[in-house]
Amino acid sequence: MIGDCIGIKFNRLIVLEEFVKLKITYCKCLCDCGNIKIVRKDKLKNEETKSCGCYRNQRIFETCHKTNKYNLNGEYGVGYSNNSNKEFYFDLEDYDKIKDYCWCVGNRNIVTATTIDFSRRNIKLHRLVMGVDCNNELEVDHINRNSSDNRKENLRICKHSKNMMNVSKRIDNTSGISGISWDNSKNKWHSYLTLDNKRKFLGRYKDKEQAIIARLKAEKKYFGEFAPQKHLFDKYNI
């Protein structure tokens, strides 16, 4: 019934007026913070909407003002995430830059926080440290592929295509080397490389070491300093 909620308070919102638009009933409400908010009546009554937005902002503000624990006694800083107590690493000189955020370690060990200014924008520690705007085309690559290691010696600014070269071995890899798999139909080792989202065939080999060498040579040729397995170059005389 139109008007049956006028004067009733739902969480932080008190209904001042009700009206119908396109067969949907809306409520004009006054929030505890003083703002006016137009809310669908059904969302108000089922508590899907509890405020003008200030409640969510308050919770974000409180979360962002939690502090991480830090160990600053070593050659570099060690932080402990609020969500899982996982460690993340940074240069001591960056402590003042990062200390006022509430950092969490999420998927793929990426360290993120929510901005304190209520914009609800997520920021990433490696971008903050390197001063890279998240709106531009540049990315920050973790050289050792450990996203929780945000020391500047482990970070480099690059384009997305370069960043995608330096990727970790797939979790379903059984050969121990990226780009090497066993071809049951040929009874040989299959060597390949993914370049510009296309798989490049590097040959099939009876000897696994030869397949590895083919892969590493291709990495050096096409990926250069972004080769994910360059730590193996000396071992295989690449």
Q: How do residues 26-44 score in pLDDT, each as one tens digit?
A: 999 999 999 999 999 999 9
C-alpha to C-alpha distance for 24 and 44, rounded to whole angstroms: 13
Same domain, 71 and 131: yes
| C-alpha radius of gyration, the chain, whole number | 27
Same domain, 129 and 201: no
Residue 36: inside a domain, yes or no?
A: yes
C-alpha to C-alpha distance for 157 and 165, rounded to whole angstroms: 13
Share of the chain above pLDDT 70, in %: 94
Residue 95 has pLDDT above 90, yes or no: yes
For the chain, the residue count is 238
Same domain, 70 and 152: yes
Residue 237: inside a domain, yes or no?
A: no
CATH number, domain of 109, equals 3.90.75
In the three-class reduction of DSSP (H, G, I as helix; E, B as strand; rest coil), residue 214 is classed as helix
Judged on CB neighbours under 10 Å (0-12, 13-18, 19+), 4 is: exposed
Q: Which amino acid is at 31?
A: C
pLDDT at site 61: 65
Same domain, 73 and 155: yes
- pLDDT single digits (tens) 226-236: 999 999 999 99
Residue 118 has pLDDT above 90, yes or no: no
Calculate the CA dihedral of residues 90, 91, 95, 101 and round it to 10 degrees.
-20
| Total number of domains in the chain | 3
In the chain the beta strands, taken as DSSP E runs, fall at 9-10, 13-21, 24-31, 36-40, 69-71, 77-80, 87-90, 104-105, 111-114, 122-124, 138-142, 155-159, 180-183, 188-195, 198-205
Question: What is each CA distance from 191 to 73, 180, 210, 217, 225, in whole angstroms?
Answer: 46, 5, 9, 11, 20
Same domain, 47 and 72: no
Q: Which of 112, 136, 163 is the last residue of a domain?
A: 163
Residue 79: inside a domain, yes or no?
A: yes
As given in the structure block, the two tokens for residue 36 are 């006016």
Which of 150, 148, 145, 147 shows the shortest CA–CA distance to 226? Answer: 145
- pLDDT single digits (tens) 133-169: 766 789 999 999 999 999 999 999 999 999 999 988 8
Residue 173: inside a domain, yes or no?
A: no
As given in the structure block, the two tokens for residue 171 are 């979790």
C-alpha to C-alpha distance for 210 and 216, rounded to whole angstroms: 10
Q: Are strands 13-21 and 69-71 parallel, antiparallel or unpaired?
A: unpaired
Residue 15: inside a domain, yes or no?
A: yes
Q: Confirm if 158 and 141 have CB atoms less than 8 A apart.
A: yes
Residue 155: inside a domain, yes or no?
A: yes
Calculate the CA dihedral of residues 225, 223, 165, 133 and round it to 10 degrees.
60
Same domain, 97 and 33: no
- Sign of the torsion formed by the C-alpha atoms of 190, 193, 194 and 199: negative
Q: Which amino acid is at 108?
A: R
Same domain, 67 and 116: yes
Domain containing 211: what range? 180-232
- pLDDT single digits (tens) 191-204: 999 998 899 999 99
Same domain, 31 and 87: no
